[in-house]
Amino acid sequence: MREINIGKNDAGQRLDKFLTKKFKNLPMSMMYKLIRKKKITVNRKRAKENQILVEGDLLLIFAPDDLFDENSPKRIVTKGIVNIAYEDENILIADKESGLLVHSDSNEEGDTLIDRITAYLIEKGEFNPENENSFAPALCNRIDRNTEGLVIAAKNAPALREMNEIIKERKIQKIYLAAVHGVIIPKNGEIKLNLQKDSTNNIVRVKDKESRDTKYAITKYNTVSISRNKDYSLLEIELITGRTHQIRASFAHIGHPLVGDGKYAVNKKDREIGYKSQALCAYSVTFIGCKKSATLGYLDGLTVNAKKPRFLSLF
């Protein structure tokens, strides 16, 4: 028999979802069989797979230990620097530098932003993986490796659930700064495109017509400044939709690619002046209309800015 006490960060989950997080090597079919045969109980009573767990619940599991191997491979936690733009007991907003992955992908297993945040919280004593059944600090949004700026992380499960809901309901305004080639006419407006993702080449392609393989993308922009020789424009950008490479693909399509972008334009001359990747920064987040959120309502009205990006020197 194995006992598991449900803590704060485990509560609010379905039983089956909790078990798949806790025991990554447990076959789904076996898990449902154990629940059905009352080999997994909650508070010594018959459980259902969709039962919502509550803090203080006691799970009892009657099954051989080898079915519940928790020794799945763990990433090496690094101790790289976390540039913190805002932090409280529930969330941390990091100001990520260009070149750093937000989390690991199939090709990269090295240093990432979430690794750094996890190590930082362990060192502060705010997170102890040995005391957690299913939760680890998690990112609520992501930006590309070579985009700099703000990324939101949740320190606990209630904050993660609420922040994901806040973002889903568009109760957060995110503003990007970008340097693009040339002067855009009109200086303010919207770009509306159909984007098709090409996962093999890690790019998106603009399509003339909507199809089942495309996603509609809307990008609002406002010209803030124009360089003295009119080679570059500084833009404030708001994403009405959030598509892969949306900003980069949109401005390249209208003939004004981002400075330094070698994926959607030729950046040979940009590299010569020191811009080896896109001049793009997730610069500002403002929380709007989230007063009624049980855990994060206090964030309503808060604006957090990243440090000023280097490409502002072009203006």
Active site residues: 144
Q: Give the CB-side neighbour count of residue 111, counting CA atoms within 13 A.
A: 10
Sheet architecture: strand order including 2-5? 2-5, 58-61, 40-42, 45-46
Assess contact for 91 and 154: CB atoms under 8 A. yes
Question: Is 84 in a helix, a strand, or coil?
Answer: strand
Can you tell me the distance from the alpha carbon of 6 to that of 41, in angstroms, rounded to the nearest whole number? Answer: 13
Question: Is 294 in a helix, a strand, or coil?
Answer: coil
Q: Give the CB-side neighbour count of residue 34, counting CA atoms within 13 A.
A: 22
Q: Both tokens of residue 164?
A: 């994901």
Assess contact for 10 and 55: CB atoms under 8 A. yes
Can you tell me the distance from the alpha carbon of 156 to that of 146, in angstroms, rounded to the nearest whole number? Answer: 28
- 13 C-beta neighbours (distance < 10 Å), count: 21
Can you tell me the distance from the alpha carbon of 159 to that of 94, in angstroms, rounded to the nearest whole number? Answer: 16
Question: CB within 8 A of 149, min separation 6: which ones?
Answer: 95, 96, 143, 176, 280, 281, 282, 283, 306, 309
Enclosing H/E stretch for 4: strand 2-5
CA distances from 100 to 127, 145, 155, 244 (A): 23, 5, 20, 17
